[in-house]
Structures are given as C-alpha cells and as structure tokens.
Amino acid sequence: MSYLYALLVYFVLSCNSNDNTSNPDSDTTTKTTVTYSVDDSDFANPDRGFYKYSETRASNYQVLDEDELRGYRTSTSAEGANYETINTMVFRYFILDDFTNGTISQTFLDNMQLDFDAARNAGIKIIPRFTYTVTSNSGNCNEGFICPPYGDAPKDVVLAQIQQLGAVLTTNADVITAVQMGFIGTWGENYYTDFFGDPSPNATQGKLLDENWQDRIDVLKALLEATPKELMVQVRYPQMKQRYVYGITATTNVAAITEAEAFSETDKARIGFHNDCLFASADDFGTYEDYGNSSSERVTDISNLKTYFQEDSKYVLVGGETCTDEYNPESNCSPDGIADIDLRSLHYTYLNTDFNNDVNNDWTSGGCIEAIKKNLGYRFVLKTATFPDSLTTDDNLEVDIILENIGYASPTKERNVNLVLRNKANDEITTLEFDTDIRRWFSEVTLKQSFSLPQTLTAGEYDVFLHLEEAYQTIKGRPEYAIRMANQDVWEENTGYNSLKHTLKVD
C-alpha cells in the first residue's frame, strides 16, 4: 500500500513540475491587435492627386494668391469639369517671354520667391516649368496652326538662366513636388523649337540629329546639377531619359531603372516623366516616339518605349495631362477604354484638373473618376496593428503594423515615419522613428520594430499614433504636409497624426 501511495505522489509532483516550467522564448506580455476600417472618401494628401493650373509671364508677373491657394485644399470644380477635386499641388508655368536674350531680372526672381512663400503658407506644393512661349503662331507652314519662329531661346541663354533659377529652386525645395525640364520649344515641351532641332513637319530634317540631342542633354544636365538631389526632374519623352543615361545612340529597348538603383539620387534615379498628351492617340501624340539621330530615322515605337516607361515609372515620379478627346473610346474608363488601367500600370501620381475636361469628364460618366481621384499616387490603408497593453521603461516596445498601398505609385520623396506616444494626462509627446523607406512602400508593408523607451518617460497612459511627416525642417511640423491614412476615424487634422486606436500603459 505504501509503495502505491509513494508512486502516486511522485506521478502528481512530476506532472505539476512539467506544467510550471517556464519557456524562456515565450512572451508573457499581454498584447492587443487592432483592426482598422477603410475610409473610401477623397481627401487632401501632399504630392499627389489632381493639380490646379497657373501661369505667369515675365512681361506681366502675377504673384500667386495665398488665400486662393488655400482654397484649393477644399473640394472645388474646375471650369468645364463635371467633377470636383481636392488639390494640394499647383502647376506653375513661369513664362520667360522678356528674357529670350540675356539674364533673368532680380524682380522676376523675387516674385518667384513670393510665389513659393504663398504656397508654403497655404500648405500647397508647386510643380514648376520654365518656358519662353506658350503661344502657337499660325501661318503658311506644314503644321499650319503653329509655325516658326516659335520664340524660345538659344542654348547659351538657357544654361545661364538655369544657374540663376537653381538658387531659388534650391531654397524652396520643401514646397516643390518636382521640376519639369521645360525651356526648349513652345510650352517647354521640347518639340517646336528654333534652336534645339525641330522634328516637326515644319522642318526639313523631320527628326533630331546628334547635335540636337547633345544640346538637350546639356540642358537637362544643367538643370539636374542646379537643383537639390532629392528633387526629381521630369522630361517630356521617355527617349530623352534613355539618351541622357545611355548616350545619343541608345536604342529604345534599353533597360529601365532597377529597384536597386531607385531613389539613390543619381541622375538616372532622378529623371521622371510628364506626359502632356495622355490618351490623345495610340502613341500619346509622340510620347512613344523614337526621334532618330544623325544615323537613324524617326519611327513610332510604342512597344519598346511604353514598356520602358511602365518599368521605369515604378521608381520615378510620373504626371501629366490629357489634351484631346479624339482617341475615344480608348481614352475612357475600362472596359471600353484604358484610362484607369494605364494610370495604374504606368504609375501616375498627378494629373491636371483644368485640362482637358473633354477627356476627364468622360471618366465621370464612365464611372472611374472617383477611383482615379483617390488612387493617383499613393493611398495608404492601415490593416492591423499589434501592441503590448502595458510595459515599463526598462522594456522594449514591440510594434507590428500591417498596412497596404492601394494607390498607383509610391511616394518619391523621403519622409519621416514616426510612432508617436502622447501622454493622456499632459499631452507630452514622445517620438520613435521607424527604420523604413516610405518610397519603397509599393504594396503591402509590415512595420515591425522593437523600440527602446527613453528612461525619462513618465508613468502613465499614452495614446499611440502613426505620423508620416515631411523630412524638411521648414514644414515637418505642419499637418497639411503630413500623410493621412485612408482609414475611418484615425486622422487628427490639427496635428497630422493618424491614431492607431490603442492606449499604452507605462508603469
């Protein structure tokens, strides 16, 4: 009997010992996972969406109005548009009509600074393009509606003026989305030009020669060198980038930029695209054109150039405008057209809300305008986030956030991604920075990081936020320049914070 009792005691003690053995790898901290609801509305976010058009002339400079710019951040309808947009960007034509010879006046440069000051005060960014003329003079020539002389400036004048303008652009890089190459030809579109090789039917050569390409390369190089490396410079034609990067004899099937090369601030990584005749024809009115060189002819090459554009645009900034409704129904929404399909596959970040609304209005009747408004550029959606419920300052704060970019493109500028703890008792802020690159948030993203808490953090309860703030010191604290997540009841308009809907207790 005593033997059986002893055996039973041993068995019970052994079982209890196994149950209470601690696993050094187990996490006994109580955690909470929050699931977020999607916000399907349109709202303002920096560096993306539809932009408002503006222009000013050296001969009659009209400075931007701060109050008008601020009003763009609310829902407005452009003239001739049957849809409304919320705008955080203004395209700005700086027409240098008084400066086709010589230097730019200090008065003009001072007025430019006033424009950028107004934009900064209003929470808006500018897309600048410089040109000498936006006028098409009709006459007795092959094109008819536009004939030479066109009115642009020679290369030596352009290069000297880029040096002048570079200082202003550098000072105001914080409120510039991107700089467009411009300068050459009517509208700065690098086509109808008096000095850089006219490939139009108005000229006998009908293509670009080697010296024309070199002159254009020199202008682009000067603009890249005169502006900060974090700014992208957009060119009108994908072949312009190809021949800048690979040389004048480059073929249209050269390799696009790779993910490894992206965002490296090299010239290759900085050159993006603006398509000013989106959905105008099968080749977007010459966008996908091989303009030849001294030893090759001009040909349309949609297959290679559009493929190159599609691949390259994953990592560089793309924008533009529609220009004619002649390519209808192809310019309409799917399934009849390709508008919404191409905008996503070609990674468009912005479009013009003021032109051409013969095309854009069809997107309203076709049912895709709302999706286009919301998905141009980035659109970040929080899915879930996991946090500890409580911890001490000696503990690491382990956070696991899953989100998704459902927009057409990723951001192309660096940005601080912060976890913010705000004390519920006194609003004291503690900022912890994630080790991530928002420019590489292409699809689903996981922010999983362990943070050391500062020993000065006081005990209490803290609300937790995600803050996607500007990197520029001049505007980093401005809520207008912070990114809003597309989730319900998370946005704090007065701070630019996105609530993660969790309260953390610190003992």
- CATH (domain of 449): 2.60.40
CATH number where 245 lies: 3.20.20
Region 115-137: what's the mean pLDDT? Answer: 98
* Residue 127 phi, psi dihedral angles, 5° rounding: -110, 100
Is the pLDDT assigned to residue 5 strictly greater than 70?
no
Q: 172 and 254 share a domain?
A: yes
Q: How confident is the model at residue 366 (pLDDT cuts 50, 70, 90)?
A: very high
Q: 387 and 496 share a domain?
A: yes
The pLDDT of residue 28: 61
User: Which of 175, 202, 204 lies closest to 191 in space, CA to CA?
Assistant: 202
Q: 287 and 214 share a domain?
A: yes
Region 396-413: what's the mean pLDDT? Answer: 98
Count of structural domains, the chain: 2
Q: 238 and 349 share a domain?
A: yes
From CA 182, how far away is CA 164, in angstroms rounded? 15
In tens, the pLDDT along 72-110 reads: 999 999 999 999 999 999 999 999 999 999 999 999 999
Q: 453 and 334 share a domain?
A: no
From CA 500, how far away is CA 490, in angstroms rounded? 7
Q: 333 and 280 share a domain?
A: yes
Helix orientation angle between 155-171 and 210-226, rounded to the nearest 10 degrees: 20
Q: 102 and 183 share a domain?
A: yes
Domain assignment present for residue 393? The answer is yes
In tens, the pLDDT along 181-210 reads: 999 999 999 999 999 999 999 999 999 999
Q: Which residue reads 């054109």 in tokens?
A: 289
Domain assignment present for residue 15? The answer is no
List Cα–Cα distances, 453 to 424, 432, 456, in angstroms: 17, 8, 8
Note if the bond before 154 is cis, omega within 30 degrees. no
Q: 366 and 387 share a domain?
A: no
Domain assignment present for residue 3? The answer is no
Domain assignment present for residue 9? The answer is no
Q: 337 and 387 share a domain?
A: no
Q: 79 and 151 share a domain?
A: yes
Residues 6 or more apart whose CB falls under 8 angstroms from that of 28 comprise none
Using DSSP, state whether 241 is helix, strand or coil: helix
| Of 375, 397, 415, the domain-final residue | 375
From CA 406, how far away is CA 415, in angstroms rounded? 18
Note if the bond before 140 is cis, omega within 30 degrees. no
DSSP letters, 91-149, are EEEEE-TT-SSS---HHHHHHHHHHHHHHHHHT-EEEEEEES-------SSSSSSS-S-
In tens, the pLDDT along 471-506 reads: 999 999 999 999 999 999 999 999 999 999 999 999
pTM reported for the whole predicted model = 0.93
The pairs formed by 243-248 with CB atoms below 8 angstroms and a separation of 24 or more are 243/213, 243/217, 244/217, 244/220, 244/271, 245/271, 248/210, 248/213, 248/214, 248/217, 248/293
Residues 6 or more apart whose CB falls under 8 angstroms from that of 123 comprise 70, 73, 88, 478, 480, 481
Domain assignment present for residue 190? The answer is yes
Domain assignment present for residue 6? The answer is no
| Of 356, 375, 394, the domain-final residue | 375
DSSP letters, 152-189, are ---HHHHHHHHHHHHHHHHHTGGGBS-EE---SSGGGS
The pLDDT of residue 231: 98
Is the pLDDT assigned to residue 3 strictly greater than 60?
no
Q: How confident is the model at residue 1 (pLDDT cuts 50, 70, 90)?
A: very low
From CA 454, how far away is CA 439, in angstroms rounded? 28
Q: Mean pLDDT in the chain?
A: 95
In tens, the pLDDT along 279-295 reads: 999 999 999 999 999 99
From CA 318, how far away is CA 315, in angstroms rounded? 9
Q: Give the residue numbers spanning the domain of 265.
A: 49-375
| Of 357, 375, 393, the domain-final residue | 375
Evaluate whether 397 touches 445 at the Cβ level (below 8 Å). no
Domain assignment present for residue 17? The answer is no
The residues with which 398 forms a beta bridge, in sequence order, are 450
Amino acid of residue 226: A
From CA 39, how far away is CA 394, in angstroms rounded? 37
The pLDDT of residue 90: 98
* Residue 449 phi, psi dihedral angles, 5° rounding: -150, 150
Region 427-444: what's the mean pLDDT? Answer: 98
List Cα–Cα distances, 427 to 462, 491, 505, in angstroms: 9, 17, 14
Q: 263 and 312 share a domain?
A: yes
Domain assignment present for residue 203? The answer is yes
From CA 68, how far away is CA 53, in angstroms rounded? 12
Evaluate whether 169 touches 227 at the Cβ level (below 8 Å). yes
Q: How confident is the model at residue 29 (pLDDT cuts 50, 70, 90)?
A: confident
- The token duo for 133 is 């003329």
Is the pLDDT assigned to residue 25 strictly greater than 80?
no
Q: 316 and 355 share a domain?
A: yes
